[in-house]
Amino acid sequence: MTRAMTGAKMVVQALRDQGVDTVFGYPGGAVLPIYDEIFQQNDIRHILVRHEQGAVHAAEGYARATGKPGVVLVTSGPGATNSVTGLTDALMDSIPIVVLTGQVPTFLIGSDAFQEADTVGITRACTKHNWLVKDPARLSGTIHEAFHVATSGRPGPVLVDIPKDVQFATESYTPPSRAKLSHYQPQVKGDIEGITDLVAAMERAERPVFYTGGGVINSGPAASQLLRELVDATGFPVTSTLMGLGAYPASGENWLGMLGMHGLYEANLAMHGCDLMINLGARFDDRITGRIDAFSPHSKKAHVDIDPSSINKVVKTDFPIVGDIAHVLEDILKVWKARGRKVNREAVATWWSRIEEWRKVDCLRFKPSEKTIKPQHALARLEALTKGRPDRYICTEVGQHQMWAAQYMGFEAPNLWMTSGGLGTMGYGLPASIGVQIAHPDALVINVAGEASWLMNMQEMGTAVQYRLPVKQFILNNERLGMVRQWQELLHGERYSHSWSEALPDFVKLAEAFGCKGIKCDDPADLDDAIAEMLAYDGPVVFDCLVEKHENCFPMIPSGKAHNEMLLGEAETQGAIDEKGSVLV
């Protein structure tokens, strides 16, 4: 049975059939027929953002917090171009989102029509795939295909560009069950020979370490479960990238903390000194490897990744395994158990005692102050006052506060932590927190922000207020572009070129102007009460936490240095980055 309907109706029907319950969007001329259909139904909720970039980040937050693809609907021209930063962000962090854009009618394409932009051309480099649908008969099938591509293999953003005449045209609707999906079917099962080789190496390893990443989260909750089982059964230490936090619980016995440029001393030294590195769904980013030729020089490296292009891209791999983390972990466990659950217990125990020595360095210690709030202290307190809650979601903006949040907050489960890692997009956190709160209306959703990042998409407070989303904006206000200031201090002779936030708004008044609650705190003695007040308030809050202005984020591996050349505190920073390092970012 085929049902005839307009293209606009098909869009809504296809979303419904894909199980979509929420669309983040902003209307305009080229999508009005679709908005008209949205008006006439109740299955799909439309969230009106204040800027299309906000829509995409909200969809990313929604996707990360649910494991489902986020959906965005925007108009042609400026609507589409405003979505570009969000698309690039989602591409870098492997977040599944589907963006639908309106386009000028097919007969006007190429004529520089009003609000025409070459949307598929502009977004080709920042989507996993995109389509311009010129034939109404192919519209519904293309939307189903878009969901398939966004969510299978390495997830990512896709875009479907829909000319206005296609939205008006009537054609028969193709349901998902009859949609012809492309040949695109990435391999999920790992090669069993490769897996057996890896297991054999694990049995012998004297200084093993698991290096886990966002791929474990992408793979779904089963992957995190299997990771826990494997780590606990083998007793191997485990560290994670910024993107993989929560896959292994922070309270877990074998947890070393985050690794990388601002990662923990023990995690980085374990990576440097290991003899077997088992990379599960991480991509050897330069924030992790530092100087490549000095990266973990004495180890054999295993790399499990669903994207063959991630393997051997940066670091040569001894045990390459293409596959989905959950599938591969299941097979690793099976093979390892079948071979008698062997590990080199004695050597691993010695390895742990070395790690314990590194832990004693206590790399996250900081000098507390009675006069000013140290940003680390603010986050340690936020952690202490919220950590019991299983439904606590943390988003961040980009900068020092982001790194401190990763260091001082612990995540017990996947999908509780949303941050912009690969692109490092200031302005991500506030809209992402909105997307998370939409997905989990009763959860505690906090955006740990820097004042500069927060200003980049602060218009989205309007969205939070309109939909009564009780998101908590916890702004560590150092009146500085702190991360930039830190780099200028370390490698540009303390010449602080344009790295301070002047003419800042009064955040409490700003909150009130938006119709939400504002709280200001600048005294360590009042901090706990102020945080409690924020948590108790049933509605959106902007919390202006005035912190120490010149605090630097440590530990830090300076650009161009190796893991064992990590800086732990202020005293060591003089001349820390040489000329070669300073060209790196």
Partner 1 sequence: MSALKIKKGSSKHSAYNLRPTFSDVQERHTLAVLVDNEPGVLARVIGLFSGRGYNIESLTVAEVDHTGHLSRITIVTTGTPQVIEQIKAQLGRIVPVHEVHDLTVEGHAVERELALFKVAGQGEKRVEALRLADIFRANVVDSTLESFVFQITGSPEKIDAFAELMRPLGLIEMARTGIAALSRGAE
Ligand X SMILES: Cc1cc2nc3c(=O)[nH]c(=O)nc-3n(C[C@H](O)[C@H](O)[C@H](O)COP(=O)(O)OP(=O)(O)OC[C@H]3O[C@@H](n4cnc5c(N)ncnc54)[C@H](O)[C@@H]3O)c2cc1C
Ligand Y SMILES: Cc1ncc(C[n+]2csc(CCOP(=O)(O)OP(=O)(O)O)c2C)c(N)n1
Q: Which residues bind ligand Y (CB under 6 A)?
A: 397-401, 424-426, 450-453, 476, 478, 480-484
Q: What is the DSSP letter of 572?
A: G
Q: Which residue is nearest to ligand X (CB)?
A: 214
C-alpha neighbours within 13 Å on the C-beta side of residue 387: 15
* Residue of 68, 128, 164, 561 with catalytic role: 164
The structure tokens listed for 263 are 């990662």
Supply the minimum distance, in Å, between the C-beta of residue 126 and ligand Y: 15
Supply the minimum distance, in Å, between the C-beta of residue 472 and ligand Y: 17
x/- binding map, residues 148-177, to partner 1, per CB under 8 A? -x----x-----------------------
Catalytic site residue 115?
Answer: yes
Residue 164's identity, in one-letter code, is K
Contact between 311 and partner 1 per CB under 8 A: yes
Nearer to partner 1, 316 or 468 (CB): 316
* Residue of 5, 483, 556, 566 with catalytic role: 483
Nearer to partner 1, 191 or 528 (CB): 191
Contact between 10 and partner 1 per CB under 8 A: no
Residue 415 CA to residue 413 CA, distance in Å, equals 7
Catalytic site residue 236?
Answer: no
Strand order, beta sheet including 472-477: 417-418, 392-396, 444-450, 472-477, 541-546, 517-521
Contact between 320 and partner 1 per CB under 8 A: yes
Supply the minimum distance, in Å, between the C-beta of residue 427 and ligand Y: 6
**Whole-angstrom Cα Rg for the chain:** 24
- The answer to whether the CB of 459 falls within 8 A of the CB of 514 is no
Among 180, 183, 495, 498, binds partner 1 (CB under 8 A): 183
The structure tokens listed for 339 are 């071979």
Q: What is the DSSP string of 275-308?
A: SEEEEES----HHHHSSGGGSSTT-EEEEEES-G
Nearer to ligand Y, 156 or 482 (CB): 482
Coil vs helix vs strand at 5: strand
Catalytic site residue 114?
Answer: yes
Supply the minimum distance, in Å, between the C-beta of residue 87 and ligand Y: 14
Contact between 322 and ligand X per CB under 6 A: no
Residue whose C-alpha is closest to residue 227's, from 210, 209, 205, 245: 210
452 makes contact, choosing from ligand Y, ligand X, partner 1, none, with CB < 5 to 8 Å by partner type, with ligand Y
Residue 121 CA to residue 131 CA, distance in Å, equals 10
Residue 283 CA to residue 488 CA, distance in Å, equals 28
x/- binding map, residues 399-438, to ligand X, per CB under 6 A? ---xx-----------------xx-x--------------
Catalytic site residue 52?
Answer: yes
Residue 374 CA to residue 400 CA, distance in Å, equals 12
Interaction residues for ligand X, span 272-301 (CB under 6 A): 281-283, 285, 287-288
Residue 337: how many other CB atoms lie within 10 Å: 11
Please give the angle made by the CA atoms of 267, 269 and 272, to the nearest 5 degrees: 115
Contact between 128 and partner 1 per CB under 8 A: yes
480 makes contact, choosing from partner 1, ligand X, ligand Y, none, with CB < 5 to 8 Å by partner type, with ligand Y
- The answer to whether the CB of 121 falls within 8 A of the CB of 96 is no
Among 219, 407, 486, 573, binds ligand X (CB under 6 A): 219
Residue the block writes with tokens 């083998």: 234
Nearer to ligand Y, 225 or 582 (CB): 582
Q: Are strands 170-173 and 3-6 parallel, antiparallel or unpaired?
A: antiparallel
The residues binding partner 1 (CB under 8 A) are 120-121, 124-125, 128-129, 132, 149, 154, 182-184, 187, 191, 194, 303, 307-309, 311-313, 316-317, 320-322
Looking at the annotation, which residues are catalytic?
Answer: 52, 114-115, 164, 483
